[in-house]
C-alpha cells in the first residue's frame, strides 16, 4: 500500500507541478549522486554532498569523509562549470553528532559567479512525543555567500546565510524530509527554498525518491530511482535532471564502491531535443577513512551467510534432539500403556472367571432352592395308597441321547436322578442344554437332550 501511494504521489506531482519560471545557476546544488538521481536527494542524503540538499542527512555518520566533485552544465544562456569540496566527521563529544565544512563554486558564462563556504552541524535526537521507529535527524549550515553577476565587475555581493532540515525514517524503508535553504542576507539571489522529500527503499536494493522544491515564482518536482547490484558494489541511477535555464533534462548516473573510495558519475541529456544546447556531466570522488575495503563486504556477506547457515544447522540439531527426546518419551509412555493394558486384560480374564464361578454358584443355589421347595411340597402332600404290587417288566436297554419334555416341577437334579439315578450328574444335562436353561432351571415345555452319563 505504501509503495502504491508513493507512486501515485510521484505521478500526480509530475503531472501537476510545472516550472513557473526557469531555474538558473543559483538553484543548482552540487553532488554527482544526487544529479544522477534527478536531484531527488533530500530524503536519501547519505553522502558528503547531503549537507547541500538536507543538512540533517549526515547526522551520526560512522566515518570521517572527504569528497570532491567537478562538472559542466550547458544551456542556451551559457556553459556553467561547478566544483565542490566537502569534509565531515563524527563529533566525539556528542555520540550521534556530525560536523563538517564545504566549499562550492559555480561559474556560468554570461550569467555570473557564485561561491559558498559553509560550516555544518547535524545530530540524531529522540523526541518522546513523536512515535518514530528511529531517532529524528536534524541539521543546519551556516554559510558565507559571494555572488558576482555578469556583466560588470562591480556587481559582487557578499553575505551570510543559513540552511536547516529534518529527516524522519521508519523501519519499513520509508523516509521523509523537510529542508529550508538560502535564508540569506540581501544578495539579490532567489528567495528561500522549501524542499519536501520522500524516499522508499524496497527489498534493500531499489530506492525510489522524490523532491518537491517550492519558492517564490518556482515550483518543481524531481523524481528519481537508484538500484544497487552486486551487494552494493555498483549502483545505477536515473531521474528527471536539473532544469537549467528552463531546458528539460533526463538524468543518468552510476556509482562504484571501491571502499574506502567511492566514484560517482552523472550525466543529463535534453528531453525534448538531443540537438539542443543542453546537457551536463559531473563526476566525484569521496573517501571514507576507516571504512572496510569493498571486498570485505563480500567476505562479510559470505561470513554472515555462513553464520546464518551455522545458526540454522544448530537450530535443526536442537530440533532433532528435541524430537528424539520426544520420541523416547513417547516410546516410554507406550511401554507403560502396554503394561497397563496387559494388567487390565489379566484383570478382565480374572473377572470373567469369577463371573463364571458366581454364575455356577447361583445356578446351584437356584437348584437347591427349587429342590427344597419340591421336597417341602412332597412332605405336605399325603402319601399315595399302595397299589397292587406288580412284577416289574424287564428294563429295555437304554438308548442315548434321549429327549425329555420339561414339565412343571422338573429340575436338573431331578432329571439327573431320573435318567442317571444320580442327582449329582446334573451338570452333564446343563452343559448339553445351556440355551434351554434359564436361571438354573429348565424352561417349561422345552425339549432337553439327555446325553449318555459319564461317571
Strand partners, 118: 102, 143
Q: Which residue, 258, 290, 322, sits at the end of a domain?
A: 290
Mean pLDDT for all residues in the chain: 85
Is 352 part of a structural domain of the chain? yes
**402 pLDDT band (50/70/90 cuts)?**
confident
Q: Which residue, 290, 312, 336, sits at the end of a domain?
A: 290
pLDDT in tens, 420-442: 888 888 888 888 888 888 777 88
State the average pLDDT over residues 236-250: 91
State the average pLDDT over residues 109-119: 91
Q: Are residues 347 and 243 in the same domain?
A: no
Q: Report the alpha-carbon distance of residue 316 to residue 310 in Å, rounded.
A: 10
**Count of CA atoms in the C-beta half-sphere (13 A) of 328:** 5
Cα torsion 325, 328, 332, 337: sign: positive
Task: Tell me what pLDDT residue 6 has.
Answer: 47
Q: Are residues 406 and 361 in the same domain?
A: no
CB 210 within 8 A of CB 37: no
Number of compact structural domains in the chain: 3
- E strand or H helix at 222: strand 218-229
Is 386 part of a structural domain of the chain? no
Task: Tell me what pLDDT residue 383 has.
Answer: 54
Q: Are residues 274 and 247 in the same domain?
A: yes
Angle between helices 412-420 and 294-380 (to 10 degrees): 60
Between the CA of residue 133 and those of 59, 88, 165, 227, 241, what are the distances in Å?
Answer: 16, 26, 19, 25, 33
Range scoring the smallest mean pLDDT among 167-181, 287-301, 329-343:
287-301
State the average pLDDT over residues 66-72: 97
Q: Are residues 405 and 351 in the same domain?
A: no
Q: Report the alpha-carbon distance of residue 362 to residue 259 in Å, rounded.
A: 103
Q: Are residues 49 and 34 in the same domain?
A: yes
CATH classification at residue 94: 2.40.160.60
Q: Is the confidence at residue 134, as pLDDT, over 80?
A: yes
**14 pLDDT band (50/70/90 cuts)?**
very low
Q: Is the confidence at residue 17, as pLDDT, over 70?
A: no
Per the structure, the complete domain to which residue 330 belongs is given by 292-376
Q: Are residues 174 and 30 in the same domain?
A: yes
Task: Tell me what pLDDT residue 273 has.
Answer: 67
Cα 83 versus chain centre, distance: 46
Q: Are residues 146 and 265 in the same domain?
A: yes
Evaluate the omega torsion of the peptide bond into residue 401 and state whether it is cis, within 30 degrees of 0. yes
Q: Are residues 170 and 64 in the same domain?
A: yes
pLDDT in tens, 168-178: 999 999 999 99
Q: Are residues 202 and 338 in the same domain?
A: no
Q: Are residues 302 and 260 in the same domain?
A: no
Is 126 part of a structural domain of the chain? yes
**368 pLDDT band (50/70/90 cuts)?**
confident
Q: Report the alpha-carbon distance of residue 164 to residue 184 in Å, rounded.
A: 12
Q: Report the alpha-carbon distance of residue 156 to residue 183 in Å, rounded.
A: 18
- The SS3 call for residue 431 is helix
Q: Are residues 251 and 304 in the same domain?
A: no
Is 453 part of a structural domain of the chain? yes
CB 266 within 8 A of CB 255: no
Which ranges of 44-198 does DSSP label H, i.e. alpha helix?
50-53
Q: Is the confidence at residue 11, as pLDDT, over 80?
A: no
Q: Are residues 96 and 204 in the same domain?
A: yes
State the average pLDDT over residues 182-210: 89
Is 359 part of a structural domain of the chain? yes
CB 236 within 8 A of CB 225: no
Task: Tell me what pLDDT residue 376 has.
Answer: 79
Task: Tell me what pLDDT residue 448 has.
Answer: 86
Amino acid at each position: 500500500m505504501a509503495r502504491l501511494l508513493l507512486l501515485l504521489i510521484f505521478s500526480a506531482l509530475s503531472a501537476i507541478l510545472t516550472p513557473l519560471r526557469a531555474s538558473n545557476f543559483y538553484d543548482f546544488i552540487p553532488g554527482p549522486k544526487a544529479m544522477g538521481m534527478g536531484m531527488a536527494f533530500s530524503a536519501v542524503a547519505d553522502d558528503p554532498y547531503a549537507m547541500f540538499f538536507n543538512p540533517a542527512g549526515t547526522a551520526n555518520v560512522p566515518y570521517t569523509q572527504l569528497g570532491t566533485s567537478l562538472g559542466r552544465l550547458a544551456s542556451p544562456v551559457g556553459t556553467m562549470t561547478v566544483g565542490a569540496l566537502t569534509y565531515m566527521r563524527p563529533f566525539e563529544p556528542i555520540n550521534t553528532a556530525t560536523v563538517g565544512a564545504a566549499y562550492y563554486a559555480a561559474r556560468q558564462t554570461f550569467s555570473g559567479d557564485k561561491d559558498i563556504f559553509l560550516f555544518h552541524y547535524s545530530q540524531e535526537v529522540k523526541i518522546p512525543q513523536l512515535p518514530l521507529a528511529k531517532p529524528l535527524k536534524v541539521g543546519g549550515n551556516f554559510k558565507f555567500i559571494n555572488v558576482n553577476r555578469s556583466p560588470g565587475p562591480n556587481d559582487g555581493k557578499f553575505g551570510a546565510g543559513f540552511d536547516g532540515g529534518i529527516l524522519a525514517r521508519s523501519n519499513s524503508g520509508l523516509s521523509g524530509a523537510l529542508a529550508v535553504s538560502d535564508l540569506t542576507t540581501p544578495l539579490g539571489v532567489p528567495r528561500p527554498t522549501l524542499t519536501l522529500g520522500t524516499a522508499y527503499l524496497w527489498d534493500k536494493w531499489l530506492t525510489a525518491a522524490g523532491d518537491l522544491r517550492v519558492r517564490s515564482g518556482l515550483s518543481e518536482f524531481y523524481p528519481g530511482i537508484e538500484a544497487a547490484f552486486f551487494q552494493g558494489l555498483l549502483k545505477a541511477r536515473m531521474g528527471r535532471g536539473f532544469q537549467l535555464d528552463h531546458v528539460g533534462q533526463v538524468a543518468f548516473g552510476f556509482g562504484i564502491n571501491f571502499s574506502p573510495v567511492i566514484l560517482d558519475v552523472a550525466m543529463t541529456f535534453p528531453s525534448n531535443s538531443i540537438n539542443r544546447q543542453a546537457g551536463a556531466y559531473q563526476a566525484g570522488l569521496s573517501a571514507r577513512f576507516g571504512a572496510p575495503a569493498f571486498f570485505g563486504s563480500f567476505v562479510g556477506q559470505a561470513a554472515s551467510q555462513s553464520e546464518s547457515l551455522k545458526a540454522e544447522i544448530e537450530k535443526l540439531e536442537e530440533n532433532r534432539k528435541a524430537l528424539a527426546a520426544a520420541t523416547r518419551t513417547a516410546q516410554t509412555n507406550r511401554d507403560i500403556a502396554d503394561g497397563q493394558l496387559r494388567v487390565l486384560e489379566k484383570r478382565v480374564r480374572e473377572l470373567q472367571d469369577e463371573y463364571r464361578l458366581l454364575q455356577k454358584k447361583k445356578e446351584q443355589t437356584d437348584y437347591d432352592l427349587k429342590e427344597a421347595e419340591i421336597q417341602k411340597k412332597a412332605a405336605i402332600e399325603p402319601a399315595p395308597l399302595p397299589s397292587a404290587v406288580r412284577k416289574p417288566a424287564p428294563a429295555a436297554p437304554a438308548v442315548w441321547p434321549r429327549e425329555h419334555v420339561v414339565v412343571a416341577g422338573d429340575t436338573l437334579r431331578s432329571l439327573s436322578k431320573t435318567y442317571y439315578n444320580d442327582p449329582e450328574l446334573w451338570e452333564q444335562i446343563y452343559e448339553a442344554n445351556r440355551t434351554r436353561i434359564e436361571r438354573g432351571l429348565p424352561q417349561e415345555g422345552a425339549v432337553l437332550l439327555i446325553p449318555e452319563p459319564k461317571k
